[in-house]
Amino acid sequence: MRWREITETLAITLAAILTALLLFGAYLWIDRGVAPRDLYYWMYIGSFGTAFSWQNTLSRAAPLILTALCTALPARVGLIVIGGEGALMLGGLAAVAAGLALHGVPPVVGQLGMAAAGMVAGGTLIACVGLLRHLRGVNATISSLLATYVAISIFSYLVEGPMRDPSTLNKPSTYPIPTEFAIGRMFGFDVHWGLAFGLIACVVSYVLLYRTTFGFSAGMVGGNVNAAQAAGLHAGRIMVLTCALGGAAAGLAGMVEIAAVQNQANASLNAFYGFTGILVSFMARHHPLGIPFVAMLFGGLSAANGLLQRRLGLPDASIFCLQGTLFVTILSFETLYRRFRIFMPREVREAMAR
């Protein structure tokens, strides 16, 4: 039964991706005269065709994995949270503050302090979303989106005001973190350790959600809150904790971007990783073990964007159009689940044949 579900998910997801690519290629062929063969070739070269492309793809996939968990974990309790971008930015800002405050301590202590600060900041923001849902029945999707705008405003105020480095005139930024707190590359490759953090977080999330009593309880809350409460579960506590864990993952993504890429907080941190992570989570059907593969797909699309501009003269927004098309096709293909007899258990097929 389990393998049939996995096969069905893979088949329908791949069909949706192929449909989106065909629609995207047809549109560019009609509108801009770009041959689909050239489009798909340069997309492959820019994403996975060379060692440099792979490194670029994996580096861009790292924050997507963590921000996707910000949507995937609350989905287990029935909440659609889209506040990963706000949690990432607050997490990055908190990581900078911790790094500056811990100046002079051993590098490992400083890095752990930055990671803890980022996770607490991001987790607190998304935990508030779960708390509002539990106490006042506020829609989690709306409240998480509004919380993101609040977080971005707080980020801008602090970066351009109290935490600003006076030497950054044209691009307001905070003071840079100590160089010894920077996260290095993995085993000599041009991919930072944020990728490893994301993969570990996905494995831990899978074990937590699908192999523990907490995960079973979270599934009950997501299925029916009233039934879960009648069974003696603390639905509100489970809801808030799950949201906090999702926000902590996005906050860790902000810390990784600071420690491995930016070195200081500024507007460059608002790179839409949190919003793209929503698409990644939905395409992976909110399953932690499926998120890394989808994140690599979106990381590859982002990595190929510059090559498409140089080789084919496409605008920068082209990849965003493809991402939107992917999201629409994935949602449309949701209606195909449980429709094909080949994916049904033998008992069900025999019953339908009678």
Q: Do the beta carbons of residue 101 and residue 107 sit within 8 Å?
A: no
> 153 vs 34, 42, 57, 91, 176, CA distance in Å?
40, 38, 30, 14, 21
Q: Which tens digits make up the pLDDT trace of 208-266? A: 999 999 999 999 999 999 899 999 999 999 999 999 999 999 999 999 999 998 899 99
The predicted pLDDT at position 12 comes to: 87
The model carries a pTM of 0.91
CB atoms within 10 A of CB 100: 18
Asked if the model's pLDDT at residue 320 lies above 60, the reply is yes
Question: Is 90 exceeded by the pLDDT of residue 89?
Answer: yes
Average pLDDT for residues 159-164, to the nearest whole number? 93
The pLDDT tens digits for 338-351 are 776 666 666 656 56
Q: Which residues contact 241 (CB under 8 A, 6 or more apart)?
A: 127, 130
pLDDT, position 351: 63
Q: Which amino acid is at 70?
A: C
